[in-house]
Amino acid sequence: MTKFKLRNIFFILSLFILFWSMLSFNSNANPVPIASPELGGLIPKEDTNCSMTNANVIVEIDATNLNKIIDFSFSGNYTIFNPSEMINVTIAAPFSNMIYSENIIGDISLNDSSIPFSIRPFNFWDSLWFESSLWKEYLQGSGIPYITFLICNITIPENTSITLEYTFDSNITVDLRALGELFFRYEVGTSRVWKGNVTESVEFRVFGKTPDEFYNNSCTVSDLQDGKIYLWEWKNEIIYDDYVYIMYHGNYSWPPYFIPFGNSFLTIKIIFVFVLVYVIKLRRSK
């Protein structure tokens, strides 16, 4: 075999190695579609000496038909203690835009009395980035590009505990046939922005289809009529977990070694045509 033929074979093999490596790289880089209804705890605008001593969250999800509309309700009860002089606090409660928007009727009550609050849909260019370092830290860590902040201003007297309660009903429209994953997530890590320990419980009451996965660290699962309860509890401690969740697997799957569209496929076609033309020229030159 001549050096010319060896050089040609080596060149063609190199192109095919490049071809397959590009396929592998791009197939891994295309993420599976995920829907993530996000719920967060309470985040003060600025550092305070206040502690969140208790938090009780109940999330009800009707997963009877996951390919249509999922009814959803949220109830969060939080006790905040101020050990120092009277203070005014601005507090944000983050929820993903999937489950909370300006069309949703929600309520925030302070010691059983409704209080006014503002709704701040966040996007990448929003000034919320600069209004609070604590809010910015949450936005950077959540990984969710579209989120809504429910913001209220409260006054907490010296050496006093107050109770904030958040309630709303919502629904989301999903189609698991077009998704890789659907998971409902509650951010318990937001409790660390408050001073001291917290006693907290987060309860997901799921009706209909049982989740395919759930966050199993310290989780207690019990039966409910037509459903199940997933309960996480912490007793007077710092919560080192960042979030808890339940998850459903969708029917979407990305072909592992073939990309049917996009700029990557265009590049691959160009390489393939180049190799084909080169081989034809070699055959004609014999």
Which amino acid would we find at residue 222?
S
19 & 97 share domain: no
Residue 241 is assigned to a structural domain of this protein:
yes
Among 39-43, 84-88, 90-94, 253-257, the least confident range:
253-257
Q: Provide, for the chain, the percentages of residues in helix, strand and coil under a 3-state DSSP scheme, each rounded to the nearest 5.
A: 25, 45, 30
CB 261: neighbour CB atoms within 10 A? 7
269 & 206 share domain: no
Mean per-residue pLDDT for 157-168? 96
79 & 15 share domain: no
The angle at the Cα of 106, spanning 43 to 181, to the nearest 5 degrees, equals: 70
Residue 279 is assigned to a structural domain of this protein:
no
The residue behind tokens 């208790």 is 54
Cα(163)–Cα(108) distance, integer angstroms:
10
Instruction: Please say whether the beta carbons of 106 and 165 come within 8 A.
Output: no
Residue 285 is assigned to a structural domain of this protein:
no
The domain containing residue 24 runs over which residues?
Answer: 3-30+256-273
222 & 136 share domain: yes
Instruction: Please say whether the beta carbons of 164 and 78 come within 8 A.
Output: yes
Instruction: Please say whether the beta carbons of 250 and 174 come within 8 A.
Output: no
Tokens of 213: 């996965």
pLDDT at 77: 97
Parallel, antiparallel, or unpaired for β 69-82 and 118-122?
unpaired
Alpha carbon separation from 32 to 116, 146, 256 (Å, rounded): 39, 18, 11
Residue 283 is assigned to a structural domain of this protein:
no
Tens digits of residue pLDDT in 111-140: 999 999 998 887 666 666 678 888 888 877
Collapsed DSSP state (helix, strand, coil) of residue 226: coil
24 & 80 share domain: no
Domain count within the chain = 2
Burial class (CB in 10 A: 0-12, 13-18, 19+), 112: exposed
- Whole-number mean pLDDT of the chain? 80
137 & 7 share domain: no
pLDDT-derived band at 37 (thresholds 50, 70, 90) equals confident
Q: Any residues with CB less than 8 A from the CB of 86 and at least 6 apart, and which? A: 155, 156, 157, 158
Mean per-residue pLDDT for 154-169? 96
88 & 14 share domain: no
194 & 264 share domain: no
129 & 96 share domain: yes
129 & 265 share domain: no
106 & 179 share domain: yes
Tell me: pLDDT of 254 over 60.
no
Cα(43)–Cα(189) distance, integer angstroms:
10
Residue 265 is assigned to a structural domain of this protein:
yes
Task: Give the CATH number, domain containing residue 55.
Answer: 2.60.40.3680
Residue 184 is assigned to a structural domain of this protein:
yes
Cα(72)–Cα(59) distance, integer angstroms:
7
CB 181: neighbour CB atoms within 10 A? 17
72 & 19 share domain: no
| E strand or H helix that includes residue 208 | strand 198-208
Mean per-residue pLDDT for 236-258? 78
